[in-house]
A and B are shown apart, each in its own frame.
Chain A
Amino acid sequence: MRALVIDDSRAMRRIVGNILKDFGYEVREAGDGQQALDALREGKAEGWVPDLCCIDWNMPVMDGLQFVMAVRANPHFRQVTLMMVTTESETGQIVKALAAGAHEYLIKPFTADALRDKLALLGLLPEEVSA
């Protein structure tokens, strides 16, 4: 499984990335939505398309919601699962992200178990981890 972790905080990228690596994921990182779009395009050119994107909401240059809309507008990335991982916890924000095309929503702070549960719901937990 492959994941792209998108967050302007290096610390948060490391935390999310380490949890995903423990679950067996191969992880790449991006510091904002635009970098993530570039990473998707470059990845596709080399045959690396992520199964999952973990996306922060508030980022400079391009925020998480704009990234979700951009990915959903591109048919090449239709199979990529998008999960918001953010401090934005107002119901209106969650509805907006899901309406834009995000599949799941995880509110910071979270535990490794909470992320694991979300991945299980999405069918993105490698079998050896779910066992």
Chain B
Amino acid sequence: MTLQEAQSITALLDQETVQSIADEIWPALVGDGEAFVPVPVAPPAEVVSAWVTISGPWDGAVVLTCAPATAEALAESVLMTRPPTVVDDEDVADALGELANVLGGNIKSVLPGPSSLGLPQIGSAPTTGRLDDVCRVNGQWRGQSLTITVQGATPALHPSGTEVPQ
């Protein structure tokens, strides 16, 4: 294992970089004037996550987590739906997944490469690995809690991987 492979995400990426990536994505994808504000609010009782994995010199995932109602509002904004049109579960999963995908792709571009990006997944967030291999930005969108987490892989994320430091 090389020194680079052993680096944790905090040595490769800081919260400001994650925020600057979100600053580009929100107006382009969520809508004009929309922003991910890096000021934490109380976390919701129930959450849903969307994530993409990154495989390469650094292995892990980029995870977007919020309340189901926030995910629905995000989908409505991304899809520009107006009443009486309503978004269904598939729309919500698709929109949240695409946000995670674009976040993940842009975060991958600032990490050592070459790396590959997995397809978006939705559900309960994967468990985090080492505590020092996590870069998390707790923030809000339209006053609702939203968290972007860049976290190192665990054996559960990459069962056959051998490059993840234990």
Contacts and interface: CB of A to CB of B under 8 A. Distances in A.
Interface stretch (A6-14, A37-45, A122-130): A6-14
B140 to A, nearest CB: 20
A92 interface: yes
A90 B107 CA distance: 11
Interface of B: 24-25, 28-29, 75, 78-80, 90-91, 94-95, 97-98, 101-102, 104-106, 108-109, 113-115, 117-120
A89 B109 contact: yes
A9 B94 contact: yes
Q: Is the interface of B mostly helix, strand, loop or mixed?
A: helix
**Which of B104, B115, B117 has the most CB atoms of chain A within a 10 A radius of its CB?**
B117
Contacts, number: 65
B119 A87 contact: no
Interface residues of A, number: 22
B149 to A, nearest CB: 18
Interface stretch (A21-29, A66-74, A75-83, A106-114): A106-114
Contacts of A12: 98
A98 to B, nearest CB: 16
A13 to B, nearest CB: 10
A9 B113 contact: no
A18 B97 CA distance: 20
A104 interface: no
B101 A58 contact: yes
Nearest to B79: A11
Contacts of A15: 29, 78
B91 A11 contact: yes
A74 B109 CA distance: 32
Contact of A109 (B28, B79, B115): B28
Contact of B94 (A11, A87, A111): A11
B29 A86 contact: no
Contact of B79 (A14, A60, A86): A14
27 contacts: A9-B94, A9-B97, A9-B120, A10-B79, A11-B75, A11-B79, A11-B91, A11-B98, A12-B98, A14-B79, A14-B80, A15-B29, A15-B78, A58-B118, A58-B119, A59-B119, A87-B101, A89-B105, A90-B108, A90-B115, A92-B113, A108-B29, A109-B25, A109-B102, A109-B106, A110-B28, A111-B28
A88 interface: yes
A86 B106 CA distance: 10
